Amino acid sequence: MPRILNHAPWLVLAVLGAFALGTVALARGETINALWLVVAAVCTYLVSYRYYSLFIATRVMRLDPARPTPAMRHNDGLDYVPTNQYVLFGHHFAAIAGAGPLVGPVLAAQMGYLPGMLWILAGVVVAGAVQDFMILFVSMRRDGRSLGELIKAELGDIPGVIALFGTFMIMVIILAVLALVVVKALTNSPWGFFTVAATVPIALFMGIYMRFLRPGRIGEISIIGFFLLIAAILLGGQVAQSETWAPVFTLTGIQITWILIGYGFVASVLPVWLLLAPRDYLSTFLKVGTIVMLALCILLVAPPMKMPSVTRFVDGTGPVWSGSLFPFLFITIACGAVSGFHALISSGTTPKMVENELHTRFIGYGGMLTESFVAIMALVAASCIEPGIYFAMNSPPALLGTTAESAAQVINNWGFVITPEMITQTAQDVGEVSILSRAGGAPTLAVGMAQIFSDLFGGKGMMAFWYHFAILFEALFILTAVDAGTRAGRFMLQDLLGVFFKPLQRTASWAGNLIATGLCVAAWGYILYQGVVDPLGGINTFWPLFGISNQMLAGIALILATVVLFRMKRERYAWVTMVPAAWLLICTLTAGVQKVFHSNPAIGFLAHAERFSTAANEGRLLAPATSMEQMRQVIFNDYLDAALASLFVLVVLAVLVFGILSCLKALRSDRPTTREIPTGGATARAGD
């Protein structure tokens, strides 16, 4: 009897969650409060954490609290340090949280909030959190080795190299798409551009302060830096008003692109203490602080959801991104439901610092549930603004035209009530000249956040401040990711190129450094440039490509986890990773193939290329191209994108084949063949 009583509170939670979910799902026509989503999400997280993650920990992994972790065995006070689980949770969460869970749900809101919400919740419980937890476990049992090394050890050398190459390509796409989000937010926005540009001298000042003036005072300088940022936002407002300065900071998308490319190059060859590290401090603290603030504000404001729960665009004709609900919703929302990039973090520093095997459940599974909650908040922020404003901000100019009048007319025809005055008023409220066609999630989220924050602090007069605060918050950590990513890509490339020409491998050599950095910047810069000049807005084309690659990496990570379970002779539990892996492969392969071969030019790259080729042969120009040369450029890019998408499909298929072969081999063996560090490894490297 007491055993059953233990479960009673959880049953109450489950019933409450189901009721909230039912309320959200069955609301037709009437507006519901965002708190229903929050309650449904939190109950889902708690119940799945209590039962499903416990099942995985005790039955599938059989975590052993007595088994020494890498931190115990190699304790060096630096990389391997046994760390309190709450402290490590904070570290892990700060590492996995990024632009992904904020942007994806905002874009997915074009179908209404219900499909996105259901995928975020189901995805995180069954796929995302399982992946993070499993990879953390697998890496922890192998001295904290990286995903690439793990694939090499468990699947073989060839799949290891294939996966590494895939990871590099994914990183290039990710950097380009993230940079594109920043460009979209800062184009023709003197306030935004000034504020973000000001972060560079602020970071330089912090770096010099920490190096020469008061070494090691991280907390002190971070607080100073934070106040300088706020000052930069306030000053930006003045700049935007000034007749002399506003034009200086009003730049076109193409100008900003070149500035970003130059900046990315310089920033990633400078010493890290000067620019990268101080900006990383600011962006990390600002990111975590803002996320916590957003959560509190949503609870206090309890905004109504103005977006319909399901819109007519579930049929695949949406203006923000093209493609039907299946498979494209499942790749549009990547982080927040399941994200392959977390596999890199879970096999990075976190496994080296775990104090006790049992903690991985809270850090791995719990950390991803928290990230998922960030995605739910982004969905709420995007759905609590007027749907008409949402579509005005996220639809490409090819559909809306460039004036508030034309945009309002188009959006009214879609069935969302909006007047040109509402559009210009919103732009005025947030201190911008225009809010039209700012796809990419960040500005929409900023309007939503500004609305929620200003409801609590400062009223309408503060909306412009909060809008630019939100833009700064996103731009700051995206730019940090861009230059940390360029640096990481440079090392990867030097490694790769070093195979053919040895001297390039020396990461300290200036020539090798400059060449590899240049190549890396050129790769993402090229894609970024294509995205910026794309008349469909770039995000429309490239976000699906990012989603496909990111979800494919998750598929690869789950295949690895499945192979490990087979090799541990725990194949009876392998469904835990096989089911999400299968779902991800179905979604990403379908989406990948559709992106290449779909007959609708809005979806399929080849169909799009053919439409432009036919027109070019007849001597006609198609928008957005304004010359024959641009027509040829569009066609070339279509083929390039098709090649990229096909490459991802091939990479994932190859890993799948190797995965199946490894599983079959493990099945034939009568004992475990996995390559864990044995329990008795406690003294293997003691004393070093």
Partner 1 sequence: MSGLKSNLSRFRGYFEQTAKLMIGVPDYDTYLEHMRTRHPDQSAMTYTEFLDNRLQARYGAGKAGCC
| Position 393 contacts partner 1 (CB under 8 A) | no
Asked if residue 63 lies in contact with residue 361, where contact means CB atoms within 8 angstroms, the answer is yes
- Output the smallest distance, CB 352 to partner 1, in A: 10
Give the residue with the Cβ less far from partner 1, 280 or 641. Answer: 280
| Position 354 contacts partner 1 (CB under 8 A) | no
Q: Which of 304, 316, 292, 322 is nearest to 387 (CA)?
A: 304
| Position 550 contacts partner 1 (CB under 8 A) | yes
Q: Which of 1, 4, 66, 78 binds partner 1 (CB under 8 A)?
A: 78
Give the residue with the Cβ less far from partner 1, 219 or 672. Answer: 219
Give the residue with the Cβ less far from partner 1, 5 or 78. Answer: 78
Give the residue with the Cβ less far from partner 1, 94 or 654. Answer: 94
Q: Which of 79, 157, 220, 315 binds partner 1 (CB under 8 A)?
A: 79
- Output the smallest distance, CB 282 to partner 1, in A: 10
Stretch that binds partner 1, among 273-281, 390-398, 445-453, 586-594 (CB under 8 A): 273-281
Measured from the Cβ of residue 280, the count of other Cβ atoms closer than 10 Å reads: 18
Q: Would you call 425 helix, strand, or coil by DSSP?
A: helix
Q: How far is CA 619 from CA 239, 607, 608, in A?
A: 46, 18, 17
Give the residue with the Cβ less far from partner 1, 437 or 480. Answer: 480
Q: Which helix (H) or strand (E) holds 333?
A: none
Give the residue with the Cβ less far from partner 1, 90 or 601. Answer: 90
Q: Please, what's the b/e burial string for 205-226 (b: 16 or more CB within 10 A of its CB; e: otherwise)?
A: bbbebbeeeeeeeeeebbeebb
Give the residue with the Cβ less far from partner 1, 282 or 581. Answer: 282
Give the residue with the Cβ less far from partner 1, 459 or 687. Answer: 687
Q: Which of 75, 188, 255, 600 binds partner 1 (CB under 8 A)?
A: 75
Stretch that binds partner 1, among 109-117, 274-282, 610-618, 651-659 (CB under 8 A): 274-282
CA dihedral 657, 660, 662, 665 (to 10 degrees): -130
Stretch that binds partner 1, among 28-36, 115-123, 191-199, 277-285 (CB under 8 A): 277-285
The secondary structure of 4-47, three-state, reads HHHHHHHHHHHHHHHHHHHHHHHCCCCCCEHHHHHHHHHHHHHH
459-478 binders of partner 1 (CB under 8 A): 477
Q: Which of 119, 133, 194, 281 binds partner 1 (CB under 8 A)?
A: 281
| Position 87 contacts partner 1 (CB under 8 A) | yes
Q: Which of 326, 328, 232, 217 is nearest to 286 (CA)?
A: 232
- Output the smallest distance, CB 1 to partner 1, in A: 36
- Output the smallest distance, CB 203 to partner 1, in A: 13
| Position 491 contacts partner 1 (CB under 8 A) | yes
E-only strand ranges, 39-121: none
Tokens in use for 259? 């500035």
Total binding residues toward partner 1, as defined by CB under 8 A: 62
- Output the smallest distance, CB 85 to partner 1, in A: 11
- Output the smallest distance, CB 66 to partner 1, in A: 22
Q: Which of 269, 291, 292, 267 is nearest to 280 (CA)?
A: 267
- Output the smallest distance, CB 276 to partner 1, in A: 6
Stretch that binds partner 1, among 2-10, 20-28, 52-60, 347-355 (CB under 8 A): 347-355
Looking at residue 83, what DSSP letter applies? B
Tokens in use for 606? 């080849």
| Position 146 contacts partner 1 (CB under 8 A) | yes
- Output the smallest distance, CB 484 to partner 1, in A: 5
Whole-angstrom Cα distance, residue 662 to residue 98?
34
Q: Which of 492, 565, 578, 631 binds partner 1 (CB under 8 A)?
A: 492
Q: Which of 60, 97, 564, 603 binds partner 1 (CB under 8 A)?
A: 97
Whole-angstrom Cα distance, residue 530 to residue 639?
13
Q: Which helix (H) or strand (E) holds 214?
A: none
- Output the smallest distance, CB 452 to partner 1, in A: 24
Q: Please, what's the b/e burial string for 145-175 (b: 16 or more CB within 10 A of its CB; e: otherwise)?
A: bbbbbbbbbbbeeebbebbbebbbebbbbbb
Give the residue with the Cβ less far from partner 1, 183 or 389. Answer: 183
| Position 379 contacts partner 1 (CB under 8 A) | no
Torsions phi, psi for 477 (to 5 deg): -80, -20
- Please name the amino acid found at residue 49: Y
304-343 binders of partner 1 (CB under 8 A): 334-335, 339, 341-342
Q: Which of 2, 29, 65, 687 binds partner 1 (CB under 8 A)?
A: 687
Q: Which of 2, 29, 65, 77 binds partner 1 (CB under 8 A)?
A: 77
In the stretch 206-235, what mask flags binding to partner 1 with x, by CB under 8 A?
---------xx-xx----------------
| Position 353 contacts partner 1 (CB under 8 A) | yes
Give the residue with the Cβ less far from partner 1, 95 or 381. Answer: 95
Give the residue with the Cβ less far from partner 1, 219 or 415. Answer: 219
Torsions phi, psi for 483 (to 5 deg): -85, -30
| Position 86 contacts partner 1 (CB under 8 A) | yes
CA dihedral 226, 230, 233, 236 (to 10 degrees): -100
| Position 481 contacts partner 1 (CB under 8 A) | yes
Q: How far is CA 657 from CA 155, 437, 542, 647, in A?
A: 10, 42, 28, 15
| Position 348 contacts partner 1 (CB under 8 A) | yes
Whole-angstrom Cα distance, residue 646 to residue 654?
12
Whole-angstrom Cα distance, residue 456 to residue 437?
28
Torsions phi, psi for 272 (to 5 deg): -60, -35
Q: Which of 567, 591, 587, 579 is nearest to 661 (CA)?
A: 567
Residue with tokens 């730049």: 251
Stretch that binds partner 1, among 186-194, 346-354, 561-569, 652-660 (CB under 8 A): 346-354
Whole-angstrom Cα distance, residue 587 to residue 592?
8
| Position 370 contacts partner 1 (CB under 8 A) | no
SS3 content of the chain, % helix, strand, coil (to 5): 75, 0, 25
Give the residue with the Cβ less far from partner 1, 37 or 345. Answer: 345
The CB-side HSE value for 347 (13 A sphere, CA atoms) comes to 22
| Position 2 contacts partner 1 (CB under 8 A) | no
422-461 binders of partner 1 (CB under 8 A): none
- Output the smallest distance, CB 603 to partner 1, in A: 24
Tokens in use for 370? 């928290």
- Output the smallest distance, CB 259 to partner 1, in A: 20
What are the residues binding partner 1 (CB under 8 A)? 75-79, 81, 83-84, 86-88, 90-91, 94-101, 146, 167, 171, 174, 215-216, 218-219, 272-273, 276-277, 280-281, 284-285, 288, 334-335, 339, 341-342, 344-345, 348-349, 353, 477, 480-482, 484-485, 487-488, 491-492, 495, 507, 550, 687
